[in-house]
């Protein structure tokens, strides 16, 4: 589904942040991406999310060469990739419902055509009672789940989550992890960037460890 071959990336004229990164993310796979702070986890996620272009190497996303994907193609490609940001990036002037429905709204769909689906998904992530609440009123865990629901509303083929349990307590972290596992069971590939060893030990999944700009994979 997504393949990296000898990928390297540097910002401007700075040093290489990522070096010779090669891996393959198959359909329906589940993996953790870990490594110390500043190792380049977010940068690797941005590459996966097509928000950056590599300075060298080859990236193939859904069978397409990254270097041949034009800015015009990007929105369509991004709809197949769900992202949960570390800082949630919910829009504070919109209710939880509006935030989750946003990816469908920007496609120009009528609200009547997706209303039931959004409500169903909000119930699934446990935010049924909070759908008309603005994000500043939500707790950290609720914000996280709203961000996850927004990433899932378009049924992406892969979900990328950047430190999804970084701001929540251990019980909620376990609950969120179960949500990701359930999602993976239903057919979506999942990659969770985290440095929480406790979280990784709860699931027998592939671990990709970034260190010094290089990637080690432990299947």
Partner 1 sequence: MIEPRRLAGIAAGKVAGAAAQALPALRRRPQRKAAPIVPPQNVAGSALILVIAIMTFLSCLTLGAVTLVRDTASAWQTQIAREATIQIKPQDGLDMEAALETARQVAAGFSGVRGATVVDRAATQRLLEPWLGAGFDIDGLPVPRLVIVTIDPAGPPDFAAMRETLAVAVPQAILDDHRTWVDRLVAMANTTVTIGVSVLALMLAATVLAIVFATRGAMAGNGHIIEVLHFVGAEARFIAGEFRRHFLFTGMKGAAAGGLAAVVVFAAFSWWSSRNLATPQADQATALFGNFAIGPAGYAGVVLIVVVVGALTAATSHLTVVSYLGDIDTTRREG
217 binds partner 1 (CB under 8 A): no
Q: Which stretch binds partner 1 (CB under 8 A): 25-33, 60-68, 99-107, 210-218?
A: 99-107
Backbone angles phi, psi at 188, to 5 degrees: -100, 130
3-class state of residue 76 by DSSP: helix
Contact 159, 152 (CB under 8 A): yes
Contacting residue, 5, 16, 20, 154, with partner 1 by CB under 8 A: 154
Q: Which stretch binds partner 1 (CB under 8 A): 75-83, 135-143, 173-181, 204-212?
A: 75-83
CA distance 122 to 200: 26
94 binds partner 1 (CB under 8 A): yes
Contacting residue, 3, 105, 174, 214, with partner 1 by CB under 8 A: 105
CA distance 78 to 14: 28
- Closest to partner 1 by CB, 2 or 101: 101
CA distance 161 to 212: 21
Q: Which residues contact 215 (CB under 8 A, 6 or more apart)?
A: 18, 21, 22, 23, 44, 208, 209
Q: Which stretch binds partner 1 (CB under 8 A): 19-27, 180-188, 199-207, 209-217?
A: 180-188
3 binds partner 1 (CB under 8 A): no
Show the beta-strand stretches assigned E in the chain.
2-10, 16-25, 30-34, 56-61, 64-65, 81-84, 158-162, 189-193, 206-211, 214-218
89 binds partner 1 (CB under 8 A): yes
76 binds partner 1 (CB under 8 A): yes
Backbone angles phi, psi at 162, to 5 degrees: -100, 110
- Closest to partner 1 by CB, 172 or 206: 172
Which residues of this protein are in contact with partner 1, per CB under 8 A?
Answer: 11-12, 38, 42-43, 46, 49-53, 71, 74-76, 78-79, 83, 85, 89-91, 93-95, 98, 101-108, 111-112, 114-117, 119-121, 123-124, 126, 128, 150, 153-155, 182, 186-187
């Amino acid at each position: 589904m997504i393949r990296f071959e000898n990928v390297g990336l540097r910002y401007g004229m700075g040093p290489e942040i990522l070096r010779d990164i090669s891996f393959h993310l198959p359909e329906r796979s589940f993996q953790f991406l870990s490594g110390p702070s500043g190792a380049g986890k977010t940068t690797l996620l941005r590459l996966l999310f097509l928000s950056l272009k590599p300075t060298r190497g080859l990236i193939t996303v859904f069978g397409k060469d990254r270097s041949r994907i034009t800015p015009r193609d990007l929105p369509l490609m991004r709809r197949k990739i769900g992202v949960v940001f570390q800082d949630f990036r919910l829009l504070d002037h919109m209710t939880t419902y509006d935030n989750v429905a946003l990816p469908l709204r920007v496609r120009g769909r009528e609200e009547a055509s997706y209303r039931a689906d959004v409500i169903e998904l909000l119930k699934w992530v446990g935010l049924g009672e909070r759908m008309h609440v603005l994000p500043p009123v939500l707790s950290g865990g609720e914000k996280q789940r709203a961000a996850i629901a927004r990433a899932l509303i378009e049924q992406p083929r892969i979900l990328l989550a950047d430190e999804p349990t970084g701001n929540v307590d251990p019980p909620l972290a376990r609950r969120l992890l179960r949500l990701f596992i359930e999602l993976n069971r239903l057919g979506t590939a999942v990659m969770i960037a985290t440095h929480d060893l406790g979280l990784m030990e709860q699931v027998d999944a592939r671990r990709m460890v970034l260190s010094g700009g290089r990637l080690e994979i432990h299947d």
